[in-house]
Structure 1
Amino acid sequence: MGLLSILRKLKSAPDQEVRILLLGLDNAGKTTLLKQLASEDISHITPTQGFNIKSVQSQGFKLNVWDIGGQRKIRPYWRNYFENTDILIYVIDSADRKRFEETGQELAELLEEEKLSCAPVLIFANKQDLLTAAPASEIAEGLNLHTIRDRVWQIQSCSALTGEGVQDGMNWVCKNVNAKKK
């Protein structure tokens, strides 16, 4: 059974649920992105101290998105949320070049996790609305994303603040939602 026929079957099932884990360093824009997806007000965002969960309907799928705080002291607890993850979305602050090495190390560690093995990965190169933002291609090269061979992945330029690029990324998610469930 090909991917297209599997997706057709999934789309015919009402409210096919998908578990998405939304991770990244603190201040990358994860919560803003989540609120943008849920069409909620983004004018007052506070740092996530634990986690946020939102269910978002998209292209016949019910996306259950788990937004976990990215502060250094919280990151060791990320692994408590890996179980049954269908898609990993990793958010990078494209304008915070000083933290590219740190965010790259965190992403590399996530890609080594057995419970996340083969889960498709969407990397949002966020904050593209800022003049100092590195383009997605530069981030992909700096993080050696081209070496990822054990799963499908995509890097998507976006601005969680303006919403630009967010839907393109979510379209990719919906196309690749079944990669782990084959």
Structure 2
Amino acid sequence: MGLLFAKLMTVFGDREHKVIIVGLDNAGKTTILYQFLTKEAVQTSPTIGSNVEEIAVKKTRFLVWDIGGQESLRATWNSYYCNTEIVILVVDSTDRERLTVTKEELHRMLAHEELQNASVLVLANKQDMKNSMSAAEISQSLTLGSLNARSWHVQACCALTGEGLPASLDWMRSRVVAN
């Protein structure tokens, strides 16, 4: 009976998987969320609190929480961690000065008990800009190699054009379908 149910779930779709999108202010989190949803760039303003949308990729459904990244809001991020399966960290690839802050926020988050099993997707956004850091540079700066007990991936992208985002959705889907 359990095998039959599992087969039916693969045919008729899966449960909803919780995803949080975090990153410093102005990294492109909300633009990415709505690019996932509408496949076009939308005009955004700084997020106070959060935005939430359901995104379907093939038959896999993600409930995606886009959380404000201003310094005053980062202390509230942990109230969104419960049942999170994937953490998307959006990095402004041109913001070299704040990459250390991004690294500190990421490692503080991942130390939280409720995120111990969450996969991490780092979106190296703004790749269309001059002097943007490569995905490899960002990976090294964030010391992602130290996350050996966790599934993680870095994807270069451009929120405005959507470049790199379909591949990131495929990676997310592979993480939850495999589990």
TM-score (norm 2): 0.91
Paired position in structure 2 for 1:165: 164
CA positional deviation for 1:89: 0.7
Paired position in structure 1 for 2:37: 38
Task: State how many pairs are aligned.
Answer: 174
- Aligned letter for 2:114? K
- Aligned letter for 1:83? C
Paired position in structure 1 for 2:79: 80
Kept after mapping to 1: 8 A contact 2:85/2:117: no
Kept after mapping to 2: 8 A contact 1:158/1:166: yes
User: Deviations for 1:33-82, whole angstroms, at most 9, x for unmatched residues?
Assistant: 00000116534210001100011110211111000000000011111110
Paired position in structure 1 for 2:147: 148
Is the partner of 1:33 in helix, strand or coil?
helix
Mark the CA change 1:8 to 1:159 in structure 2 (over 3 Å): closer, same or farther: farther
Unaligned ranges ≥5, structure 1: 1-6
- The reply on whether 1:112 has 2:115 as its aligned counterpart is no
- The reply on whether 1:100 has 2:93 as its aligned counterpart is no
Kept after mapping to 2: 8 A contact 1:16/1:60: no
Q: Distance in 1 between matches of 2:147 and 2:165?
A: 22
- Aligned letter for 1:92? V
| Percent of residue pairs bearing the same amino acid type | 40
Paired position in structure 1 for 2:3: none
Higher mean C-alpha deviation, range 13-22 or range 104-113: 13-22
- The reply on whether 1:122 has 2:121 as its aligned counterpart is yes
Q: Distance in 1 between matches of 2:95 and 2:175?
A: 29
Paired position in structure 1 for 2:20: 21
- Aligned letter for 1:119? A
Q: What value does the CA root-mean-square deviation take over the aligned residues?
A: 1.7
Is the partner of 1:115 in helix, strand or coil?
helix
- Aligned letter for 2:175? N
- Aligned letter for 2:167? D
- Aligned letter for 1:57? A
Q: Distance in 2 between matches of 1:113 and 1:123?
A: 18
Is the partner of 1:155 in helix, strand or coil?
strand
Paired position in structure 2 for 1:3: none
TM-score (norm 1): 0.90
